[in-house]
Amino acid sequence: MTVREILKMGDARLLRQAQKVPAFDTDALHLLVLDLYDTMRAANGAGLAAPQIGVDLQVVVFGSDERNPRYPDRPLVPRTVLVNPVITPLGEDMESDWEGCLSVPGLRGQVPRYARIRYTGWDAFGEPIDRTVDGFHARVVQHECDHLWGKLYPMRMRDFTQFGFTEVLFPGIAAEEDD
Ligand code: NI
């Protein structure tokens, strides 16, 4: 239950292929999940992956059970702990939209993502998760799971004219939340 330091782009630990979690429902895994949530909330993030706090394991957290008043139109993504995930794109359709990242502070970029995916994995107790999602939910899952494969969103970008500082791209809107 600790707010941990978030590693920033340039740190080689963000480029590793994370290891699979070997056992569920352990004290170590539950403590890691608490740290991820505390750190994500303290930074006003939409999600966080274990490698971002220097932990080399396939664990991500994302979503919220409450709607963010700053983003009233954004679809609600359920609060989720996802361990050892597998993502399967459903179809070839890609959509571009703005993303930010707590490991790339102050910047936003247009990132193409699969429009519709199925994702599977487990929660921290070992209960299976199997969801088919699209849109913003699909984007958040792809962004967070990319951290487990050593990918940061700029590595997925194709158009670098659509990359810049949040305060310049969206004047008047503080960079209050990042993915
Ligand atoms: Ni990120």
Domains and CATH numbers, the chain: 12-169 (3.90.45.10)
Determine the pLDDT at residue 174.
57
Determine the pLDDT at residue 73.
76
Q: How confident is the model at residue 76 (pLDDT cuts 50, 70, 90)?
A: confident
Q: 103: CA distance to ligand 1 center in Å? A: 6
Residue (of 45, 164, 33) closest to 103 by Cα position = 45
Determine the pLDDT at residue 129.
98
Active site members = 144
Distances (CA, A) of 141 to 6, 80, 85: 19, 10, 10
Determine the pLDDT at residue 177.
53
Tokens of 10: 């340039």
In whole angstroms, give the CA distance from residue 7 to residue 66: 27
Q: How confident is the model at residue 154 (pLDDT cuts 50, 70, 90)?
A: very high
**pLDDT one-digit tens code per residue, 16-60:** 999 999 999 999 999 999 999 999 999 989 999 999 999 999 999
Residues linked to residue 7 through DSSP beta bridges, in sequence order = none
The residue to which tokens 């699969």 are assigned: 114
**pLDDT one-digit tens code per residue, 80-139:** 999 999 999 999 999 999 999 999 999 999 999 999 999 999 999 999 999 999 999 999
Query: Per-residue pLDDT averaged across 152-166, rounded?
Result: 97
Determine the pLDDT at residue 172.
75
**Has residue 170 got a pLDDT over 60?**
yes
Q: 121: CA distance to ligand 1 center in Å? A: 19
Q: 6: CA distance to ligand 1 center in Å? A: 10
Q: 99: CA distance to ligand 1 center in Å? A: 9
Class of residue 78 by CB neighbours under 10 A (exposed 0-12, middle 13-18, buried 19+): exposed
Q: 94: CA distance to ligand 1 center in Å? A: 19
